[in-house]
């Protein structure tokens, strides 16, 4: 019997690459649910190819368009907040949450509450409410498998190891689009320039987060949540080639690294097939052709967002939710040409400094912090608007 999967955010970069993996394994993977934010044409095309029992669109105003595009199929159509219900479809075994921003939180919670395996690419929900998701997963005995390449690497390095043997985690960072640009030129870089990532092709928000290194900061918090390692034992290192996806150093000084060419289909299919290995390699690494791998310390002066993320992680509570929400608002404003690149850390810092924290005991506390941070960040963007 094939593993029956739901993909939340199937029209995005991760979603489409996941469907590419599914295409290679018609006997072992079956798609039962797909959802999108607004891209109903592409979603309808995907639904025709993969035949899910249900589809969802987050923008409720697009219900009729999606319904009529699939009128001659049996697919059930959900729209608006109801679209998140596809994460708890009774027929699903595994839910891949590949939507962007905090929109991933409700489907991730729905999936674990319903006892599904959660393959999670969406880092923002882990940052804002990872402890709640993992607590719910423990209660329902759901398995949570990371998809982010760094966390997939750590997950693979930790297989067969005792948690107490972990000395530190080392996250590798490509350095993003501006890693070689003189610091004084960074304030005025354009969205188009920020979207030119040197090694990965991804959605817009994460690509800008790579340029500011907020992405690495979110990943530090994500790793802290997923693997229970204290924040101060999660380090970062610049690694231009994006071939070592991350490393774990153990108490005896031994270091394990997971390697592969930068191709997200590798960690995606690892998560879809876990605990087994797939039989198809999306890409194969030739060490001799690579020549050398390079590493260097990250210059925190160049990447204030990374320092802000460490600060939010150490403070805990609702600070990580505020960090992530303020960053979402700032990145959207930058992409719309309303905020300078250097305004992104300024907006996030303003929100963190003004925040009155709460213990992130439940989703309501996270939602309150998220809403407050978005409002605060929006007003800071208006003050800094170009």
Ligand X SMILES: NC(=O)c1ccc[n+]([C@@H]2O[C@H](COP(=O)([O-])OP(=O)(O)OC[C@H]3O[C@@H](n4cnc5c(N)ncnc54)[C@H](OP(=O)(O)O)[C@@H]3O)[C@@H](O)[C@H]2O)c1
Cα-flanking dihedrals φ and ψ of residue 344, to 5°? -60, -55
Give the footprint of ligand X on residues 136-165 (CB under 6 A): 148
Q: How far is the CB of 59 from ligand X (least distance, A)?
A: 8
User: Which region, judged by CB under 6 A, interacts with ligand X, from 121-129, 161-169, 191-199, 336-344?
Assistant: 121-129
Cα(91)–Cα(182) distance, integer angstroms: 53
Q: In the complex with ligand X, which residue's Cβ is closer, 89 or 384?
A: 89
Q: How far is the CB of 221 from ligand X (least distance, A)?
A: 12
Indicate left, alpha or beta for 91 from its phi (over 0: left) and psi (-120 to 50: alpha): alpha
Cα(254)–Cα(234) distance, integer angstroms: 16
Is 242 a binder of ligand X (CB under 6 A)? no
User: 118: which strand partners?
Assistant: 95, 144
Is 197 a binder of ligand X (CB under 6 A)? no
Is 217 a binder of ligand X (CB under 6 A)? no
Q: How far is the CB of 264 from ligand X (least distance, A)?
A: 4
Chosen residue from 200, 256, 317, 374 binding ligand X by CB under 6 A? 200
Cα 147–chain centre separation: 8
Q: CB neighbours of 318 closer than 8 A, spacing ≥ 6?
A: 355, 357, 358, 359, 360, 365, 366, 368, 369
Angle, CA 271 vertex, CA 135 and CA 228 arms, to 5°: 35
Q: Closest CB to ligand X belongs to which residue?
A: 12
Contact present, 145 and 123 (Cβ < 8 Å): no
User: Which region, judged by CB under 6 A, interacts with ligand X, from 9-17, 69-77, 340-348, 368-376?
Assistant: 9-17
Cα(325)–Cα(366) distance, integer angstroms: 10
Q: In the complex with ligand X, which residue's Cβ is closer, 122 or 384?
A: 122
Is 305 a binder of ligand X (CB under 6 A)? no
Site map 32..71 versus ligand X, x via CB under 6 A: ---xxxxx------------------x-------------
Give the footprint of ligand X on residues 307-346 (CB under 6 A): none
Q: How far is the CB of 55 from ligand X (least distance, A)?
A: 11
Is 11 a binder of ligand X (CB under 6 A)? yes
Q: Is 72 exposed, middle or buried (0-12, 13-18, 19+ CB in 10 A)?
A: exposed
Alpha-carbon Rg of the chain, whole angstroms? 20
Is 15 a binder of ligand X (CB under 6 A)? yes
Residues that bind ligand X (CB under 6 A): 8-9, 11-15, 35-39, 58, 83, 98-100, 103, 121-124, 148, 200, 202-203, 205-206, 264
């Amino acid at each position: 019997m094939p593993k029956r999967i739901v993909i939340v955010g199937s029209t995005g970069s991760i979603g489409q690459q996941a469907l590419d993996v599914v295409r290679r394994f018609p006997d072992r993977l079956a798609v039962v649910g797909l959802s999108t934010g607004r891209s109903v044409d592409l979603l309808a095309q995907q639904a025709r190819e993969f035949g899910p029992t249900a589809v969802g669109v987050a923008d409720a105003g697009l219900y009729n368009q999606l319904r009529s595009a699939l009128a001659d199929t049996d697919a059930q159509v959900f729209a608006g907040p109801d679209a998140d219900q596809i994460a708890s479809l009774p027929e699903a075994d595994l839910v891949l949450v590949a939507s962007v921003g905090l929109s991933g939180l409700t489907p991730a919670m729905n999936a674990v509450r319903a006892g599904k395996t959660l393959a999670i690419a969406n880092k923002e929900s882990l940052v804002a409410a990872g402890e709640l998701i993992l607590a719910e997963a423990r209660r329902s005995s759901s398995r949570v498998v990371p998809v982010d390449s760094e966390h997939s690497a750590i997950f693979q390095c930790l297989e067969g190891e005792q948690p107490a043997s972990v000395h530190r985690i080392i996250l590798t960072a490509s350095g993003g689009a501006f890693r070689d640009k003189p610091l004084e030129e960074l304030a005025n870089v354009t969205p188009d320039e920020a979207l030119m990532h040197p090694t990965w092709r991804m959605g817009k928000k994460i690509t800008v987060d790579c340029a500011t290194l907020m992405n690495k900061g979110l990943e530090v918090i994500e790793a802290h949540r997923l693997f229970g390692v204290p924040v101060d034992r999660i380090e970062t290192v610049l690694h231009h080639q994006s071939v070592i996806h991350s490393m774990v150093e153990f108490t005896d000084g031994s270091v394990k690294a997971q390697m592969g060419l930068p191709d997200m289909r590798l960690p995606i299919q690892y998560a879809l097939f876990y605990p087994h290995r797939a039989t198809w390699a999306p890409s194969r690494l030739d060490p001799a052709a690579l020549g050398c791998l390079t590493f260097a310390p990250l210059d925190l002066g160049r990447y204030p967002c990374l320092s802000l993320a460490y600060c939010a992680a150490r403070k805990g509570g609702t600070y990580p939710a505020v960090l992530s929400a303020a960053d979402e608002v700032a990145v959207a404003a930058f992409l719309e040409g309303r905020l300078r690149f250097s305004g992104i850390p300024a907006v996030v810092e303003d929100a963190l400094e003004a925040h009155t924290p709460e213990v992130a005991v439940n989703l309501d506390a996270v939602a309150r912090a998220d809403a407050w941070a978005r409002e605060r960040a929006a007003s800071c963007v208006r003050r800094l608007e170009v």
